[in-house]
Amino acid sequence: MSAMTISGVEEMLTDLRLFAMFKEYMESKHASEVVTAYVWLHKLKRHSPKARRKNSKDFMDTFIGPDAPRQLNLDGEIVADITGKSMTDEQIDSVLTAVTATLTENWTEFAISPLIVRFRKGEYEPRITQTEAKRFKFIRRERRESDDMIIKHFKAQEVV
């Protein structure tokens, strides 16, 4: 299996079609919550501290709690560390790092999937919903304003 490169991540985060295809791929693996959590966590980081506390509680109820409807598959230590009514900045960063690692692993599989091969040959064009377009617009804006967590992850892993 080939490793994901920084240029591959850059391409996915700058091409709405690839972003939509990756989300579709994650849905086929019953893991679309990872993409949603990634976007949500980036939004959390932009909120004021007061809003971050309130919205992190909503994030916990949606993705982390025992009855969470879109529960993330996180390391037990990360989940055990998140107690209380809201998440600290360090806990948000910890979950974002874990979610980014999951995205990275899944991108590696996606990058060599038959779907992407068909797309590269011009034999497939993804469906793009208004929701995907909005998520993509947010990610594009976020990338212009700060370093991207996936790129940071790759630099830390020295994957090129």
116-125 residue pLDDT tens: 888 889 998 8
The share of the chain scoring above pLDDT 90, in percent, equals 2
110: pLDDT strictly greater than 50: yes
Q: Name the residue with tokens 């700060």.
A: 146
141: pLDDT strictly greater than 70: no
Q: Name the residue with tokens 């690692």.
A: 101
Whether 12 contacts 132, CB under 8 Å: no
Q: Rounded to two decimals, what is the model's pTM?
A: 0.69
Following CA atoms 158, 75, 89, 108 in sequence, which dihedral angle do they give, to the nearest 10 degrees?
40
Q: Is residue 1 part of a domain?
A: no
More confident residue, 69 or 156: 69
Q: Is residue 61 part of a domain?
A: yes
Cα Rg of the chain, angstroms: 16
Residue 21 corresponds to which tokens in the numbers above? 């295809």
Instruction: Count Cβ atoms below 10 Å from residue 13 Cβ, excluding itself.
Output: 19
Q: How many domains does the chain have?
A: 1
Q: Is residue 20 part of a domain?
A: yes
Q: Is residue 75 part of a domain?
A: yes
Instruction: Count Cβ atoms below 10 Å from residue 140 Cβ, excluding itself.
Output: 13
Q: Please report, for the domain that includes residue 72, its CATH number.
A: 1.10.167
Kindly report, residue by residue over 26-84, the tens digit of the pLDDT.
888 888 888 888 878 878 888 888 888 888 888 888 888 888 898 888 888 888 888 67
From residue 126, give the alpha-carbon distance in Å to each of 21, 41, 60, 72, 78: 6, 25, 31, 25, 35
Confidence of residue 9 (pLDDT cuts 50, 70, 90): low
